[in-house]
Structure 1
């Protein structure tokens, strides 16, 4: 019964995508998770961002984002600096090492992202995207 549930299929697909991606990164000896990559990419695209903004963009809770940010900082991929406008916040920026990681990994990440879509037509890809956006919109209200 559960296998015929649309939400279960969406979640299963998302998990398989993450698992496939993690296996590719691991096979290449890359010490970063797919989730950490997403955080790193958001920081790279949004200079001087903060953990709250990252959590909103990735729909992740504060403890999860905090844990990933701490790991990325320990690995030297990002830097934390006190916010100039709010003493309770820190600004997150990409480091040179983080920028190099992004540049080196981008082709691999693109391969991972599009593996599952390889045999779909452009029309099918567009339909999936539209359906997923409608589901997200329905859940926003």
Structure 2
């Protein structure tokens, strides 16, 4: 029977979790009260004006309930504002506030340092191969009908 450490997907998940935990600790150590998930959602809104909560969930790999909970917290923190959609009251438009944009700018240098630390010792060629392999895995899973 194969061992967990020999399974590629176990190691991918382990690396992602290790990075997220490290990144979250760095944000906290620098006095930021924003989570990685909140950062991702703010970035998604800024990069995709008019994005729906369902689309945010797809983009950041979160279920609808988690996205709603995170957005509720960010509304309370005044990082984003919800506006009722003018044509459909069941929908909301999300807008990043000035303080939300400010925190994204302030956190950016920490995010870049986190990436540098995580990728230390990995060559450009290795990174390109890894990126290519991960894209192929995603495509294989998304296009497989069986």
TM-score bracket, normalised by the shorter chain, equals over 0.9
Once residues 85 and 132 of structure 1 are traced to their aligned partners in structure 2, the CA distance between those partners, rounded to angstroms, is: 40
Once residues 116 and 64 of structure 2 are traced to their aligned partners in structure 1, the CA distance between those partners, rounded to angstroms, is: 29
SS of the equivalent of 1:29 reads coil
Which aligned segments of 4 or more residues in structure 1 are displaced greater than 6 angstroms? none
Is 2:37 the partner of 1:35? yes
The aligned counterpart of 2:57 is 55
For structure 1, list consecutive stretches of 5 or more residues without a partner in the other structure: none
Name the TM-score, length of structure 2 as normaliser.
0.92
Larger radius of gyration: 2
Measured against aligned partners, the alpha-carbon deviations of 1:69-118 in whole angstroms (never above 9, x if no partner) come to: 11111100000001123221101110011011111111111111232112
SS of the equivalent of 1:92 reads strand
The aligned counterpart of 2:7 is 5
Give the CA RMSD over aligned residues. Answer: 1.1
The aligned counterpart of 1:46 is 48
Name the TM-score, length of structure 1 as normaliser.
0.95
The aligned counterpart of 2:133 is 131
Equivalent residue for 1:75, pick from 77, 85, 88: 77
Equivalent residue for 1:89, pick from 88, 91, 106: 91
